Structure 1
Amino acid sequence: MGPMLRVTMRDDGHMTLPVQMGGVRLPGDSTVEHVTVDVPAPGHGQVLLRMRASSICGSDIRAIYREHLGHGAEAYQGVIAGHEPAGEVVELGPGVTTLEVGDRVAVYHITGCGSCDECRIGYPIGCTSPSRAAHGWQRDGGHADYMLAEAISCLRLPDSLSYVDGALVSCGFGTAYEGLLRGKVSGRDRLLVKGLGPVGLAAAMLGRHLGASTIIGLEPNAERASLATQLDLVDVVVTNPDDLAAAVGDATEGRGCEVTMDCSGHPAARHAALEHTATRGRCVMVGEGGRIDFAVSDLLIHKQASLLGSWVSSLGHMAELLDLLDRWGERPERVVTHRFSLADAGEAYAVAAEGASGKVVIEWD
């Protein structure tokens, strides 16, 4: 007997969907667990997506894949993994009027309560309600053949962007863009990016489009440093932290960079970002975890510098970024170095965990 199917109606006829699907969970201990689960049906205000691309984020590795470190917003609830999803709408729930079957969408990966101050301004990432849930953390994510999403969280992809582009914007590129906006990057600024992993590569790419006149990157991993050079995303790549002061000094006449961004989360890199922030400059911290200790008077007060934290993006800024990428003719997909099928998710996570690649993506035909 073949797989069971369910039939749903659409304007141009019938669509058949499987009753069950494959998916991936992350039990910890650097392990990927393949599971078979029911294909969900959309409720009020929801849509069912056929997954087309779902990329792996550094937070997945840091806080779920290796061991379950998170609490609060990062508490993993044993759901289907993957919080960077993009797919095709295949079924509409009751009350959905903003999307149609066949729409190509990227998904903002957090659903908030919808009524708190953060939700009302488009930042469900900051929602503190018990009902807040992130795909891949507290509700099923994109590492499965199908995924339920709230219609309000789905943003149509411009024709120029692929599903992989959309998946990358869903978190990594959206996070980088938000950080650059927090830092108010413009053509008046020289930009220092600490850590050229996927988010750092995104920051460099988008920083150039926002007008940064010079971009310096620090990346000790030779493979990632080489990728940044190959993609022509930075003007200067420094692989030895001991050489950073000279490189920044040469590029800025000793003044430091007007905007610095730490995408690594490493204490030494964070300290160096502050150290190389120019007087009255802005230092943005995006990399998660860890701690930092620094001389407040020397690195912050006396320089009259601004120290800014930035967490993911807003729904509005994610939509804005998709539009800008279309207008710029830019493709986030350029930073992808490895592509895998869902069946090979274990290998995909192992590659991402090595910390030497660009973006790692799970794709469907």
Structure 2
Amino acid sequence: MQGVVFLGHRQLELMTFPDPQPDPDGVVIEIKASGFCGSDLHHYRGERGASLSSKSPQFLKDRGLTADEPIIAGHEPCGVIAEVGENVDPKAYKKGDRVMVYHYDGCRYCHQCRSGWVQMCDKGSTIYGQTAHGGHAQFMKAPAKSLLHLPSDVSYSAGAAVSCGTGTAFAAIERLDLSARDSLAVFGLGPVGLSILQLAKAMGIATVAIDVSADRVARAVEFGATAAYNSNEVDPVEVILEWTGGRGVTAAIDSAGAAAAKLAAIRSTATWGRIGFVGIGPSLPLDVTTDLILRQRTVIGHLTFSDVSMDRCVRFVAQNGIDLDKQFTDRWKIEDAALAYQEFDKQLAGKACFEF
């Protein structure tokens, strides 16, 4: 089979790999859709691609890896079980099942793993597409314990979206305990931000959307925003205060990662406001006393999602008929991987994926 390998410095290679065989407790998935994520660009643009050279010798030894081993990219895989290991319970997973992959694996024994937050594993987590082969290939090997069933009325590309961006959005909403009683400001309208808007609309939450891209702002209402503004043209804090009659929103989520967006997310919330930071970015010049203590605000740092939250997310999407497919503006064949990532690197369009 062929798989996409990031070499770094905006270079990738379509390499040939042996077709995988399932481990006794695992499966092989025939990939139907493999999404692109903004975090992939760190490896695409970086010095070493998805290299293992930054991992400790013990990490590599425990997993039977070497530092120079090429890794197939893609941590948003979705497809059909093609082969099943001998120890896998057929009542749980069988050949032909439609599945998503929770793209982390850990020791499964520590407190974090047992709570479902495998990416927080005390011994260090494996990340498919970064430290183990991912979904940018025709086939992918994975432990059966990392699988979740894909509802029949959710497409493979929508399942790929849930496998990272939409799953992250849903879990952030859960952690902020949002409901229809809230008003929500969303900073950054990439796939995570758009997912927040779609999910929030289904929950009855009024939202105001902020971005620096005129095209993304123009699409925000289509995705469920009550109002949308370009922060290159207006002061986002001022317009949000005006939108809320001077009180501020009860909650805000930053998925942009920029320091200015994070500060605006804090300062646009009301007293007792809750703020979720999803976007990874630079350090923040924050006046803790004025911005937090004197306004009784709560700030939460949020990293992706647990496996149980991912399951709740895909079921919520199915039950509410949320059209995640409209996030996708580009669908590619793996043979066009070089051009696909050149276009994705521009960050001008919507979500992208490989389809097989």
| Residue 67 (1) aligns with residue 51 (2) | no
Deviation at 1:358, TM superposition (A): 1.2
- Structure 2 equivalent of residue 189 of structure 1: 182
For residues 133-148 of structure 1, the aligned pairs below 5 Å read: 133-148=126-141
Q: Residue 15 of structure 2 aligns to a residue in which SS?
A: strand
Residue number among 254, 277, 289 corresponding to 1:297 in the alignment = 289
The amino acid of 1:182's aligned partner reads R
Q: Residue 33 of structure 1 aligns to a residue in which SS?
A: strand
CA RMSD of the aligned region, Å? 1.7
Q: Residue 38 of structure 1 aligns to a residue in which SS?
A: coil
Deviation at 1:266, TM superposition (A): 0.5
Deviation at 1:125, TM superposition (A): 1.2
TM-score, structure 1 as length reference: 0.89
| Residue 357 (1) aligns with residue 323 (2) | no
Deviation at 1:77, TM superposition (A): 6.6
The amino acid of 2:100's aligned partner reads A
The amino acid of 2:96's aligned partner reads G
- Structure 2 equivalent of residue 335 of structure 1: 327
| Residue 121 (1) aligns with residue 101 (2) | no
- Structure 1 equivalent of residue 60 of structure 2: none
- Structure 1 equivalent of residue 168 of structure 2: 175
Q: Deviations over 1:82-128 (max 9, x none)?
A: 00000110000121111010001111000111001110011101113
For residues 202-217 of structure 1, the aligned pairs below 5 Å read: 202-212=195-205, 214-217=206-209
Distance 2:188 2:71 in 1: 30
Deviation at 1:249, TM superposition (A): 1.7
Q: Deviations over 1:305-351 (max 9, x none)?
A: 10001110010011111111111011211211111011111222122
Distance 2:328 2:300 in 1: 28
The amino acid of 1:56's aligned partner reads F
Deviation at 1:78, TM superposition (A): 3.6
Distance 2:123 2:189 in 1: 34
- Structure 2 equivalent of residue 40 of structure 1: 20
Distance 1:307 1:115 in 2: 29
For residues 281-296 of structure 1, the aligned pairs below 5 Å read: 281-296=273-288
Q: Residue 302 of structure 1 aligns to a residue in which SS?
A: helix
| Residue 243 (1) aligns with residue 235 (2) | yes
Structure 1 residue ranges without an equivalent (≥5): 1-20
TM-score, structure 2 as length reference: 0.92
Distance 1:36 1:48 in 2: 17
Does the Cα contact within 8 Å between 1:89 and 1:102 map onto a contact in 2? yes
Distance 1:205 1:77 in 2: 39
| Residue 24 (1) aligns with residue 4 (2) | yes
Distance 2:122 2:12 in 1: 29
Residue number among 252, 262, 271 corresponding to 1:279 in the alignment = 271
Deviation at 1:236, TM superposition (A): 1.3
Deviation at 1:76, TM superposition (A): 10
Q: Cα distance 1:276–1:76, how it changes in 2: closer, same or farther (>3 A)?
A: farther
Does the Cα contact within 8 Å between 2:237 and 2:267 map onto a contact in 1? no
Q: Which moved more, 1:236-245 or 1:190-199?
A: 236-245
Residue number among 17, 33, 58 corresponding to 2:38 in the alignment = 58
Distance 2:68 2:123 in 1: 16
Deviation at 1:26, TM superposition (A): 0.3
Deviation at 1:36, TM superposition (A): 0.5
- Structure 1 equivalent of residue 63 of structure 2: none
Deviation at 1:240, TM superposition (A): 2.6
Q: Which moved more, 1:339-348 or 1:49-58?
A: 339-348
Distance 1:312 1:349 in 2: 23
Q: Residue 166 of structure 1 aligns to a residue in which SS?
A: helix
Q: Residue 322 of structure 1 aligns to a residue in which SS?
A: helix
Deviation at 1:278, TM superposition (A): 1.3
| Residue 258 (1) aligns with residue 247 (2) | no
Q: Residue 351 of structure 1 aligns to a residue in which SS?
A: helix
Q: Residue 26 of structure 1 aligns to a residue in which SS?
A: strand
Q: Which moved more, 1:345-354 or 1:274-283?
A: 345-354
Distance 2:87 2:195 in 1: 36
The amino acid of 1:121's aligned partner reads S
- Structure 1 equivalent of residue 98 of structure 2: 104
Residue number among 113, 129, 151 corresponding to 1:158 in the alignment = 151
Does the Cα contact within 8 Å between 1:80 and 1:144 map onto a contact in 2? yes
Does the Cα contact within 8 Å between 1:77 and 1:137 map onto a contact in 2? no
Distance 2:46 2:110 in 1: 31
Matched pairs, number = 339
